[in-house]
Structure 1
Amino acid sequence: MRPTKRQKPKVKRKSIKIIGDASRVITRLHLPDKRNRINKIIQRILSMPDMAAQNLMAQTMADFSGRHEDIGHVFKRHVDVVKPYLPPNTVLSDVQQSLIGAYFTKEYAIESAALFNPSIVPHPDQSHLKKGSLRFIMSLRATGEGHISSIVFRSGVLDPTNRFRFDSVSNFVETPELQLDPVYKRNPFQLKLNEMGAGDEISAHILNRLPEDFTYNQLIETIGNLRAKPQFPEANQNRTFQTMSWLANSNYEVSFHPDHRVSERVIFPVSKNESRGIEDARFVQFFDNQGEGTYYATYTAYNGHAILPQLIETKDFINFNIVTLNGKAIKNKGMALFPRKIGGRYAMLSRQDGENNHIMFSDNIHFWQKSQIIQEPEHPWEFIQIGNCGSPLETDKGWIVLTHGVGPMRKYCMGAILLDLEKPSTIIARLDEPLLAPNEKEREGYVPNVVYSCGALIHNNALIIPYAMSDINSGIATVDVNELLNCMRA
């Protein structure tokens, strides 16, 4: 393909700006750093006169019940956490129970610092739409106090002319019900421990006492039995216990209320390996050989020191299953799954070395062992590094892959390449110039001079690109697919 009239396709920026709202808050457990202070706080609450406690609780409910859908349930859940610190034989009144729960609860503004790195996929419900319209779900990385990131969602409709109509955003934000008792398979669990350097005689001892399919509670119980009657040096045992518990806690399920709006749902860090944030979810609608659809997303779990690539699976954006990705090729950020198998195998883009675009294939979506480089930095605007900007998009000409490149002054631009449909390790065309570069209105933010996306879609022959602006806000751009392809060079 040779350029026809212009070297660079015309990109249209929408006037829409997706901005974080500091009033969108969730509740979180609030414990002092020194646990011995919990007893002191509880004693102070219990020493309050009944009338003072009632008045304080009434004021607390007046201040906060309108900001959360069931604040009383939150207080009850949090008082259960600190019950071991109560004086022996203490019987709490309803007011004391709620007040203790309130003292160990805090609000967290999930979007107060930034709302960026979006991806967009078709909504699972496409009913009752005008012909040529598409209902969508957009995921975004929300960042709040302490720069802790979570995943939030927006929904809306694209009309036949690619105009956006976003659904109204709820005033409430829901943290989901957490299920920390999924079923694990013994062999994959052992393989992951081996990769983590914890596949020793202690872990083998524990796993050999578990069934092939075991639960979280069974694992913790078996660890507890060995802790009670040690058979190995205790220091070694404790290291293995910690690693096995850490791995198990990295796999969990969350469920939201099905009758609540998409914008009320937030996937907030729950496991230790993601304690400092859930970063850059790349959602894709994946179809198997029978045409059944499942939504997957890769994301980066961060604990302040190390990253761990994770996989989200959902059918409906109500129930989510989160598991670790495994294998020698699971090393870095920015993994993007193809929306279907190729040659009978799963395919995924990745950036193994922090510099080049890689591709990898696997028979099992959870295990990835090998990768190969398909693209190295070539142009000045990508000399530092390149990577993908979301999952590939299928056209009859090939797979369109949006890329990001980093150039002088750490300026991030977005480009595009075209991969062969059946041999996607082969680049058949590319743009020589950036498709999208930060303009004067987009270059100021938490990380200046950056445009970035985690996933686009094609609708009515237009490439719809939600993108982040300097790691603080998000916008939307569109480009005609045929024009984009015609501007690529072979």
Structure 2
Amino acid sequence: MLDLFNHALRLHADPSRVVVRPFHIAWQSNGKGPSRSERLVREVLDMAPSEARRQLEIVLKDFEARHWQTRRVFMTRYDEIEAQLKLDGGDIGDEKRQLIGAYFCHEYSYAAAALMNPSAVEHHDQSGMPDGSLRIVMSLRAVGEGHISSVAFREGIITQDNELKLAPEPPFATAADTHGDEEHMPEGPVTVNRHRDSTLSGTVIFPITKAQSNGLEDLRLVKFTHDDGSTEWLGTYTAYNGSTIQSEMMRTRDFRAFDLVPMTGAAARNKGMALFPRKVGDHYMMIGRQDGENLFLIKSDRITHWDEGELLLTPEFPWEFVQIGNCGPPIELDEGWLLLTHGVGAMRKYSIGAVLLDKNDPSKVIGRTREPLLAAANQDREGYVPNVVYSCGALRHRDTIFLPYGVADSSVAFAFVPIKAVLAQM
């Protein structure tokens, strides 16, 4: 294996990281008559002012120190309920408004079970960066209560000496949310918004729609350059509802508003799709695995519609005999497209390798590493799912590849890989 520089930093699951999330009570009800939301609001409105004050004091004693701007969050949530139920809020005092908001919120430990499968991209704001340094955004798959996956973010800087400096996590995290119908779970495309006062490192995107209800899994972020030169940050991920999956795309230009868009076409029923960072020729292109074993090159005229592709790579070496897949979007080099891959070998041991594809015709494989760059071993073996190393996206920084990777579906580690050394292995 290649002699990599593995950074000492390691990120782990943390049950103390909690957010206040909207509690969509009515989504759980199929009854007739007044909705559960309407009944709950009426219970609070019928309270004596002194009782409402006492109940609010109990809530604030329990939760105000654990969350950021708790009263404002409750008031914001009340405003959403008022708009949905068309309440006349003129005679409702602040204490009852806050209490109603509290009933429609809940606390959620979003990374209690696992933190894994990161991807990294260039940050949209590079202001103030010294020469040779790069500000980055990482997405992380956070797994919490009910083994439901969400998307967390972490900002950081890579220095000219390949030092990784992560921005400190704020003491409080906030959930991005959509403003919609309180009585029905959304379906189809939705837009979620980061709270106006929250940092990106303190923002979590949770499942919103029915198709996503059991998880947003393995976001593969890429900075995409359109034909007109404009840039957009796109990420493919797997939406899981507990029984079926579908591939969806996250789209954002500012990491404040995020469009979550279901993709269409035969290939979108599969997991692990990775988008090229620009069109190649006249087509958008993806790397995907359509049969659970091999890698395919998929072309499309529409960025959210993907039909079946052409076979690109099959398992060739012992460390990938069981299956191969991508480890994120291809990275453009002068020499071609560098595609990091994962392979599964004996005893379901995961390894990470690389392939070089022709820059003008990515269906042509120029080179391939015979041995893995990185494999599950020693400290990278133990965890929730042992013997797994897995990445959803690396990035180029000067003459190295910055590779964040998940370890045993339990934690996140970081490596710096010299590009020349990777190409020399092919």
The TM-score, its normalising length taken from structure 1, stands at 0.78
Cα RMSD (Å) of the superposition?
2.8
What is the deviation of 1:351? 0.6
Aligned-partner SS, 1:59:
helix
Mapped pair 1:25 → 2:24: no
TM-aligned CA distance change 1:424 to 1:173, over 3 Å = same
Equivalent residue runs for 1:183-202 within 5 Å:
none
TM-aligned CA distance change 1:55 to 1:257, over 3 Å = closer
Asked whether the equivalents of residues 75 and 98 of structure 2 are also in contact (C-alpha less than 8 Å), the reply is no
- Structure 1 counterpart of 2:253: 315
AA matched with 2:220: R
Counterpart Cα distance in 2 of 1:306 and 1:42: 35
Asked whether the equivalents of residues 213 and 240 of structure 2 are also in contact (C-alpha less than 8 Å), the reply is yes
- Structure 2 counterpart of 1:449: 387
TM-aligned CA distance change 1:79 to 1:395, over 3 Å = closer
- Structure 2 counterpart of 1:343: 281
Give % identity. Answer: 42
- Structure 2 counterpart of 1:149: 149
AA matched with 1:53: A
Asked whether the equivalents of residues 180 and 253 of structure 1 are also in contact (C-alpha less than 8 Å), the reply is no
- Structure 2 counterpart of 1:71: 73
Give deviations 1:426-462, integer Å, cap 9, x for gaps: 1111111111111222212221110000000111201
What is the deviation of 1:388? 0.1
**Whose strand proportion is higher, 1 or 2?**
2
Asked whether the equivalents of residues 79 and 97 of structure 1 are also in contact (C-alpha less than 8 Å), the reply is no
AA matched with 2:112: S
TM-aligned CA distance change 1:288 to 1:65, over 3 Å = same
Aligned-partner SS, 1:273:
coil
TM-aligned CA distance change 1:254 to 1:446, over 3 Å = same
What is the deviation of 1:41? 6.7
Equivalent residue runs for 1:104-183 within 5 Å:
104-178=104-178
Structure 2 residue ranges without an equivalent (≥5)? none
Asked whether the equivalents of residues 74 and 99 of structure 2 are also in contact (C-alpha less than 8 Å), the reply is no
What is the deviation of 1:49? 5.7
TM-aligned CA distance change 1:180 to 1:99, over 3 Å = closer
Aligned-partner SS, 2:55:
helix
What is the deviation of 1:403? 0.5
Aligned-partner SS, 2:406:
strand
Asked whether the equivalents of residues 179 and 252 of structure 1 are also in contact (C-alpha less than 8 Å), the reply is no
What is the deviation of 1:321? 1.6
Give deviations 1:192-243, integer Å, cap 9, x for gaps: xxxxxxxxxxxxxxxxxxxxxxxxxxxxxxxxxxxxxxxxxxxxxxxxxxxx
Equivalent residue runs for 1:45-444 within 5 Å:
50-66=49-65, 67-69=67-69, 70-77=72-79, 80=82, 94-178=94-178, 249-257=187-195, 260-444=198-382
Asked whether the equivalents of residues 21 and 107 of structure 2 are also in contact (C-alpha less than 8 Å), the reply is yes
TM-aligned CA distance change 1:291 to 1:146, over 3 Å = same
What is the deviation of 1:279? 0.4
- Structure 2 counterpart of 1:211: none
Counterpart Cα distance in 2 of 1:46 and 1:314: 40
Asked whether the equivalents of residues 118 and 393 of structure 2 are also in contact (C-alpha less than 8 Å), the reply is yes
The TM-score, its normalising length taken from structure 2, stands at 0.89
Counterpart Cα distance in 2 of 1:127 and 1:92: 45
Asked whether the equivalents of residues 22 and 77 of structure 2 are also in contact (C-alpha less than 8 Å), the reply is no
Counterpart Cα distance in 2 of 1:476 and 1:62: 40
Larger relative contact order (Cα-Cα within 8 Å, sequence gap ≥ 6) = 1
Q: Which moved more, 1:116-125 or 1:94-103?
A: 94-103
Aligned-partner SS, 2:359:
coil
What is the deviation of 1:109? 1.1
Q: Which moved more, 1:297-306 or 1:40-49?
A: 40-49
Q: Which moved more, 1:75-84 or 1:265-274?
A: 75-84
AA matched with 1:166: L
What is the deviation of 1:101? 3.7
Give deviations 1:341-361, integer Å, cap 9, x for gaps: 111211110011111001111
AA matched with 1:370: E
Counterpart Cα distance in 2 of 1:295 and 1:29: 26
TM-aligned CA distance change 1:153 to 1:170, over 3 Å = same
Asked whether the equivalents of residues 238 and 246 of structure 2 are also in contact (C-alpha less than 8 Å), the reply is yes
TM-aligned CA distance change 1:324 to 1:44, over 3 Å = closer
Aligned-partner SS, 1:127:
coil
**Whose helix proportion is higher, 1 or 2?**
1
Q: Which has the larger radius of gyration?
A: 1
In the comparison of the two structures, how many residue pairs are matched? Answer: 415
AA matched with 2:247: P
